[in-house]
Amino acid sequence: MSVVSILSQADIFDELTTTQLELIGSICTERHYQASDVIFEENTPGDEMYVIASGEVQIQVDPSLIGRDSTTGPHTIATLRRGQSFGEVSLVDEGLRSASARCSMQDTHLIVIPRDKLMLLCDTYPQLGYKLMRNLAADLAMKIRHTDLQVREKLTWAGEEKRK
């Protein structure tokens, strides 16, 4: 499957023309990972985002990094599959990664998009940049809402456990 056809399946590239997808495809690289490989660690700098061509990736947070006791290790907050993207926050800011990404399936194939080259494309082609940033905002809003729901659920369960 070509990089452009993989990108066309990702929500973050919704409504981009074939030409716009080809421009983005021209700056991409491909990487392959095996089960349990770490793609990136929480609290490390990031300068690229990823689209899953095949396989599965777990997004994890480690409670011990904020001083919480964690006997179970990192907590998986999302499991992503083909066509989904991650690492997008590094496109918006140049802060540290808010979570780790770990491959959870053999032969996982990722499309890697470097921030600097993508931002140059957005500056050079404002319509592409506008569509991409609109889609990026929608994608991040959906992920924030999902995480908010997880937090609320955890707080609800913790409250019920205390009442027992």
Across 20-127, the runs of DSSP E, i.e. the strands, are 29-33, 38-40, 48-54, 56-61, 75-81, 85-86, 100-103, 108-114
Beta bridge partners of 112: 29, 50
- Find the mean pLDDT for residues 123-127: 96
> What confidence category does residue 158 fall into, taking pLDDT thresholds of 50, 70 and 90?
low
pLDDT digits (tens, 9 = 90+) for 57-71: 999 988 776 666 656
Residue 4: predicted pLDDT: 95
> What confidence category does residue 95 fall into, taking pLDDT thresholds of 50, 70 and 90?
confident
Residue 118: predicted pLDDT: 95
- Give the pair of three-digit tokens for residue 125: 């082609």
Give all domains of the chain, ordered by start, each with its CATH number: 3-163 (2.60.120.10)
> What confidence category does residue 153 fall into, taking pLDDT thresholds of 50, 70 and 90?
confident
